[in-house]
Structure formats: structure tokens, C-alpha cells
Amino acid sequence: MTLQPKGFVDEMRMVSMKLHTREQAREGEKEVKGPEERSVSKWNPTVDGYLRFLVESKSVYDALEGIVDKPDFPYYAELRNTGLERSEQLGKDLEWFKGQGYGIPGPSGPGVNYACYLQELSEKDSPAFMCHYYNYYFAHTAGGRMIGKKVAGKILNNKVLEFYKWDGDLKQILQNLRDKINKITLGWTREEKNHCLEETERSFKYSGDILRLILSPA
Ligand code: HEM
């Protein structure tokens, strides 16, 4: 039997898992500081806060999806149409909330901030950009889904938003993206890989600022 060599995604995952708190994930090692780092079952979400979270998240997905679609970055073309795109789904969800009579806040907070940072990184520092790309999409399919379920149970009558629905087999979609990232990073030097991994903490910081909105007061 030949052992499959481990790809770079395994390294990215290992660094990310350690940056979770024990309350967030079993493999987590970080101490709880912010309210979003507590177990999701202890959260007291508000609809207004959740809407703010969805709006800011859409700014980030708009940026990520715009960046990989730009023909002047052929380097990112492999990351197009992965099946994990969320911008359109979030647009539909925001329309649904509007139909329910909620006012949709404008994007002006941490998502816009993050989107600007991602735009800059994508042009200047692709290993660091890849770190954010990986973490943002994978986080949503892991902890993000858990959050969606718990929050819907608490404040949305268990309504499943489009944000949490994928076309096809999510496991396979994720594996295809892992394979792609492993292929893209195969030619990277150790320095580029380390630089990418070092960006993980910043990716948690930006995402944490957006997640925390779910818990903001009405
Ligand atoms: C309340 C916040 C969060 C919770 C409750 C949470 C929870 C989890 C859990 C339970 C897993 C393990 C899934 C498994 O068993 O493989 C996981 C995986 C992961 N999380 Fe989080 N997480 C949170 C926030 C974040 C943030 C902010 C990031 C980074 C921006 C992140 C990135 C990841 C990544 C990359 C994985 C690996 C996914 C995979 O291998 O498929 N998570 N998370």
C-alpha cells in the first residue's frame, strides 16, 4: 500500500483548528475572549444582529467571488465555480427578510473592511489571500452551518436560509476544492507556505468581528 502524501490543506486546517476555542470545536486550543468564542448554544442572537451579520458576510463573498472572476488574475481562475459561492444565496435571503417586513441595514461595518483588505491582498500577496479564501469558505461549511441551525432554532422558527444550502453533495464539493488548493500550492516554496499559514490568525480576527454581530443588541 502506498501512503498518499498529505497536501497543504491539511496544514492549513491544523493551524485553523488550534485557533478555535474548546467551546467552538473539540480540537480547539484558544482561550475564550470574545462572546462569539463561547459555545453557540450559549448565544443569545437577535434578528437585527443576524441581519447585520448576513449583510456584512455578503460584502465578503462579493469580494471573494469578484476577485476570482477577474480576468486580470488568471492565477485565481481555478477557484471559480467551486459550488461554494454564497453571494447569490445571501442576496435571496436578504430579499426574504425584506418580504417579512425587516429593514435591511446597509453594508458599512466589518465585512466592508474585510472586503477591502482581501482586494488588496489578492493583488499583492496571493499566499496570504489563499489563507483567507480557504478559511472563509470552509469555516462557513463547518462552524457556520452549526451557527445557522442554532440561530434559526432560536430566532427564525427553524427557517433554513439559502445561505446554508448547496447544490449537490457538499462533502464532494469540499473535497474538490481541497484537491484544487493542494494542486495550486504544490509549487509553493516553504516560505510561501509559512507566510500563508501565518495569516490564519488574521483571518480569525476578521471573521470574528463579523460573527460577533449576530450577538449585537437589537
Ligand atoms: C463560533 C465560531 C465557530 C465555531 C463554532 C466553529 C466550529 C468548528 C467545528 C466544530 C469544526 C470541526 C469540523 C470537523 O470536525 O471537521 C470547524 C472546522 C473549521 N473551522 Fe471553525 N468554527 C468557528 C469559527 C471559525 C472561524 C472564525 C474560522 C476561520 C475564519 C474557522 C475555520 C474553520 C476551518 C478552516 C475548519 C476546517 C473545516 C474542514 O476541514 O472541513 N472556524 N469549526
- The string of pLDDT tens digits covering residues 163-215 is 999 999 999 999 999 999 999 999 999 999 999 999 999 999 999 999 999 99
Name the pLDDT band for 1 (thresholds 50, 70, 90): low
pLDDT bracket for residue 127 (50, 70, 90) = very high
133 within ligand 1 shell (Cβ under 6 A): no
* Residue 146: per-residue pLDDT: 96
CA of 103 to the centre of ligand 1 (A): 30
Asked whether residue 91 carries a pLDDT value surpassing 80, the answer given is yes
Question: Which residue CA neighbors atom 35 of ligand 1 most closely?
Answer: 135
* Nearest protein Cα to ligand 1, atom 30: 204
Per DSSP, helices labelled H in the chain are 8-18, 47-69, 87-99, 110-124, 126-141, 143-155, 170-185, 190-198, 200-211
Q: How far is the CA of 71 from the centre of ligand 1 (A)?
A: 31
Residue 6: per-residue pLDDT = 81
DSSP 30: B
Q: How confident is the model at residue 216 (pLDDT cuts 50, 70, 90)?
A: confident
CA of 139 to the centre of ligand 1 (A): 5
Determine what percent of the chain is predicted with pLDDT higher than 90: 91
Q: Burial letters for 177-196: b for 16+ Cβ neighbours within 10 Å, e otherwise?
A: bbeebbebbeebeeebbebb
> Binning pLDDT at 50, 70 and 90, where does residue 73 land?
confident
With a cut of 60, say whether residue 2 has pLDDT above it. Answer: no
| Mutation probe of ligand 1 site: the residue of 8, 13, 17, 29 with most atoms within 8 A of C-beta | 17
Instruction: Name the residue with the closest Cα to ligand 1, atom 38.
Output: 138
CB of residue 139 inside a 6 A radius of ligand 1 = yes
| Per-residue pLDDT, 141 | 98
Interatomic CA distance for residues 207 and 205, integer angstroms? 6
25 CA → ligand 1 middle, Å: 7
Please report the pLDDT score of residue 72 as a whole number.
Answer: 76
What angle in degrees, to the nearest 10, is found between the helix axes of 126-141 and 110-124? 140
DSSP lists the bridge partners of residue 21 as: 30
Residues 6+ apart with CB under 8 A from 40: 24, 143, 146, 147, 150, 151
**Mean pLDDT calculated for residue range 110-128:** 97
Q: Which ligand 1 atom minimizes the distance to the CA of 9?
A: 40
Q: Say if pTM beats, i.e. exceeds, 0.85.
A: yes
Which pLDDT does position 152 carry in this prediction?
97
Residues 60/210, Cβ–Cβ less than 8 Å: yes
What's the confidence (pLDDT) of residue 82? 97
CA 133 / ligand 1 centre spacing (Å): 14
Q: Is the CB of 215 under 6 A from ligand 1?
A: no
